[in-house]
Amino acid sequence: MAKIAKVWINKDRGVLTVRTPYTQEFVADIKAEIPKDCRRWDPNGKVWEFDPSWTNKILELLRESYDDVVELDFSDAFLSDTAEDLFNMLTKEDIKDIYRLLSKRYHPDVGGKPEVMTKINTFFQRYRL
């Protein structure tokens, strides 16, 4: 299975954000190459965040460690007024990941409200998940 890294600019936080499958090599490389005050692991989002000035170096390290690097550009989606427009910019895999996350948080079996899960399911049925 191919190891794919995704990278994007989080405009709200002003950081370069990277989501990757875990590899010891990549973690060692960023710790060796990127100063500690310019990188941060976000355990909630399970992403790395970097000072955008390090974009070229991060892309170089990603290309060395992963089979493919997907550079996501959400700029048009963020100008939109609807979540659906944002979802249209995402890959099928991204949408499935979001659905799984929401299900883990809001499913009635884990203490969520059935009506909230029904709304989530209705929204995601448009994407035939």
Instruction: Show the domains of the chain with their CATH numbers.
Output: 4-72 (3.40.1170.30), 80-125 (no CATH)
Query: In the prediction, which pLDDT does 8 show?
Result: 87
Question: What local confidence, expressed as pLDDT, does residue 68 receive?
Answer: 87
Q: pLDDT of 24-52, one tens digit each?
A: 999 999 999 999 999 999 998 889 999 98
Q: SS3 string of 36-75? A: HHHEEEECCCCEEEECHHHHHHHHHHHHHHCCEEEECCCH
pLDDT score of 79? 46
Those residues of the chain that have pLDDT short of 50 are 74, 76-80
